[in-house]
Amino acid sequence: MELSKEQSREIIARRVAKEFGEGDVITLGIGLPTEVANYIPANLHVVFQSENGLLGVGRRDLSGSDNPLVTNAGGIAVTTKPGAAFFDSQLSFAMIRGGHIDATVLGALEVDEEGNLANWMVPGVFVPGMGGAMDLVVGAKRVIIAMEHTNKGRPRIVKKCTLPLTAAKEVDLIVTERAVMEVTPQGLVLKEINPLFSLDDVLQATAAELIVPDDLQQIAV
């Protein structure tokens, strides 16, 4: 089944939002991961940190009243929650490198079955740089990858990354519009599948070997 990009991103963001616990401090990467903040349950208190120096990031204000001077790390105008704090990048990265971030949600170009992550460059293509991803994947207590399953039909979940790595063996969970996969010492375990896709759909769109348990669950979409 073909989903629009907007449908895929919503499915991914909604599912990632279920991964957090009360009081978690979470850093969201740029792009798709920033949408996760829009789907946090109203009765769950979490704190979003932006690496450019903001603790207490709120949802995007779709009414158009965003303050353009208050942005996330991707330069997108955001709201702030009561008690939010602003600080410089030095303090922001001290929080990240000091192990004070419970989880980070990042996009990826490739992830492999060992939890290796490539998300910052394609050789021969200009990119602005790695940003804070290298610090986040080793500093956060949990690393969640939020990305579309394929790129123009090419699998992003591979047996071994071929692109330059951001970090080795740091990914804990992968969430796509098709499935949820957990990196374990035994390999990449398929935990949940989107009922809009068959198991064969997921396996054919994945270049890594997946362990399929007997108790495979469905993603609530």
**Residues annotated catalytic, as ranges:** 51
Q: What range defines the domain where residue 48 resides?
A: 5-218
Q: What is the CATH number of the domain that holds 187?
A: 3.40.1080.10
Tell me the three state secondary structure of residue 96: helix
Mean pLDDT of 134-144: 96
**DSSP readout, 127-189?**
----TTHHHHHHHSS-EEEE--SEETTEESEESS--SPPSBSS---EEE-SSEEEEEETTEEE
pTM across the whole model: 0.94
pLDDT digits (tens, 9 = 90+) for 147-188: 999 999 999 999 999 999 999 999 999 999 999 999 999 999
Q: Is pLDDT of 60 > 80?
A: no
